[in-house]
Amino acid sequence: GAVVSQHPSWVICKSGTSVKIECRSLDFQATTMFWYRQFPKQSLMLMATSNEGSKATYEQGVEKDKFLINHASLTLSTLTVTSAHPEDSSFYICSAREPRTDNSPLHFGNGTRLTVT
């Protein structure tokens, strides 16, 4: 079945540094990928839609200059958290849909636990 791979699975960084998270679709091409954030005991919140070859679409309230998204190929999207602060500590998950049909379910990566100290 379709697999979405996310790396790293966890990262600890110091305040002020930047962290890059990669999301790859392993056996299908994804023109669109989605980035979610999840705080403890809360639901997934969509941050942005990553579009291959064009700019990402950000949800209201998400700072595009802070959360840089690059979708350089049909199998890779990256999320860079710039100048990270402790309040950015969260669980970040990417997802992608197989292009077979318009209504196929989203497949999720295993997520990245970011801790900013």
Candidates 44, 62, 74, 76: give the one binding other proteins (CB under 8 A).
Answer: 44
Angular region, 26: left φ>0, alpha ψ -120 to 50, beta rest = alpha
Residue 7 structure tokens: 């790396």
- Using rule CB under 8 A, residue 101 touches other proteins: no
The answer to whether residue 28 forms part of the interface with other proteins (CB under 8 A) is: no
CB 38 within 8 A of CB 45: yes
Give the residue, chosen from 14, 40, 43, 100, that forms a contact with other proteins under the rule CB under 8 A: 43
What are the structure tokens assigned to 100, written together?
Answer: 């077979």
Size of the site for other proteins (CB under 8 A): 21
Work out whether 34 is an interface residue with other proteins (CB under 8 A): yes
Query: 3-class DSSP state for residue 20?
Result: strand
Binding residues for other proteins, rule: CB under 8 A, are: 6, 9, 32, 34, 41-46, 49, 93, 97, 103, 105-111
